[in-house]
């Protein structure tokens, strides 16, 4: 196996999905965290889009390649890293899973609008979009515990970081996103209990997210007393 270095940010959900995939494959990797508000020059040279994650792949002969964009990185991990498969073998199922992974990325866009909302209207619009997507997910889910039954997949790796946000959000208000959606609720809990998911963030993740909400003057913060 080549040496793998994951360039990360503590709160980035796209970093988390890569870290989850690597741990599901039980492959060792080095993880380096950077401050996206003060990006080091070496990172700017490596990242075409100036975003995390990056996966630096160093071969035994010293040759290096840098992969960017989480979707490309997890596909590389699935194809090249030994271990339990994280994609279905059937081509149709595999394409369906990739579609739901994109749905998960769209969900993260709604979460971003939700967590940076500074007024009631913006918060309500984001909340409505989240409710719509969660309703679709409830319809799409089977008996669980994971998206494809008992087998953990890359779809799970994509949604686990999204659900993690709500562990902090729900300390401020009861939004009811998971109420009346038993399959979604059970899936969220199964992912939260997964070792690869728990280890995808540092222990101070909740404090860092709360600091982020404060820095962005989240609408609900003044009402959280």
The pLDDT of residue 170: 96
pLDDT in tens, 110-164: 999 999 999 999 999 999 999 999 999 999 999 999 999 999 999 999 999 999 9
- Which residue range is the domain that position 192 belongs to? 91-223
Residue 85 lies in a domain: no
- 180 and 113 co-located in one domain: yes
Instruction: Give yes or no for a contact between 178 and 134, defined as CB atoms under 8 angstroms apart.
Output: yes
Instruction: Give yes or no for a contact between 134 and 184, defined as CB atoms under 8 angstroms apart.
Output: yes
**Separation between Cα atoms, residue 16 and residue 81, nearest integer Å:** 17
The angle, 0 to 180 degrees and rounded to 10, between the axes of the packed helices 182-192 and 120-140 is 90
pLDDT in tens, 90-103: 999 999 999 999 99
The pLDDT of residue 223: 56
- 184 and 209 co-located in one domain: yes
The residue out of 15, 46, 80 marking a domain boundary is 80
Contacts of 197 (CB under 8 A, 6+ apart): 16, 20, 160, 164, 191
The two beta strands, 3-8 and 30-33, are parallel
The residue out of 80, 115, 136 marking a domain boundary is 80
The residue out of 80, 115, 138 marking a domain boundary is 80
Alpha-helical (H) ranges within the chain are 13-24, 41-46, 70-80, 91-115, 120-140, 154-169, 182-192, 195-198, 205-215
- 126 and 168 co-located in one domain: yes
- 138 and 208 co-located in one domain: yes
Instruction: Give yes or no for a contact between 129 and 110, defined as CB atoms under 8 angstroms apart.
Output: yes
Beta bridge partners of 58: 3, 64
- 43 and 131 co-located in one domain: no
- 68 and 108 co-located in one domain: no
**Continuous segment of H or E residues that includes residue 214:** helix 205-215
**Separation between Cα atoms, residue 163 and residue 33, nearest integer Å:** 22
What is the pTM for the complete model shown?
0.96
- 106 and 196 co-located in one domain: yes
**Separation between Cα atoms, residue 160 and residue 145, nearest integer Å:** 13
pLDDT in tens, 14-56: 999 999 999 999 999 999 999 999 999 999 999 999 999 999 9
Q: How many of the other CB atoms lie within 10 Å of CB of 51? A: 18
The pLDDT of residue 1: 84
pLDDT in tens, 67-90: 999 999 999 999 999 999 999 999
The pLDDT of residue 225: 44
- 72 and 140 co-located in one domain: no
The enclosing domain of 26 has a CATH number of 3.40.30.10
The enclosing domain of 143 has a CATH number of 1.20.1050.10
Q: Domain tally for the chain?
A: 2
Residue 110 lies in a domain: yes
Mean pLDDT of the chain: 96
- 58 and 159 co-located in one domain: no
The pLDDT of residue 224: 43
């Amino acid at each position: 196996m080549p040496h793998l270095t994951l360039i990360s940010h503590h709160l980035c959900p796209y970093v988390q999905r890569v870290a989850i995939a690597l741990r599901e494959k039980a492959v060792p990797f080095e993880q380096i965290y950077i401050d996206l508000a003060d990006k080091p020059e070496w990172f700017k040279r490596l990242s075409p889009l100036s975003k995390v994650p990056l996966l630096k792949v160093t071969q035994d002969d010293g040759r290096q390649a840098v992969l960017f964009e989480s979707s490309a990185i997890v596909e590389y991990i699935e194809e090249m890293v030994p271990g339990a498969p994280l994609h279905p073998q059937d081509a149709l199922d595999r394409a369906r899973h990739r579609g739901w992974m994109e749905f998960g990325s769209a969900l993260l866009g709604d979460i971003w609008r939700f967590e940076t909302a500074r007024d009631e209207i913006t918060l309500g619009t984001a909340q409505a979009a989240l409710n719509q997507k969660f309703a679709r997910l409830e319809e799409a889910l089977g008996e669980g515990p994971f998206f494809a039954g008992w087998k953990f997949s890359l779809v799970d790796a994509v949604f686990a970081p999204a659900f993690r946000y709500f562990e902090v959000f729900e300390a401020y208000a009861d939004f009811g996103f998971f109420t009346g959606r038993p399959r979604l609720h059970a899936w969220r809990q199964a992912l939260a209990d997964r070792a690869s998911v728990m280890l995808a963030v540092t222990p101070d993740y909740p404090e860092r997210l709360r600091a982020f909400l404060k820095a962005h003057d989240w609408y609900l913060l003044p009402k959280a007393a």
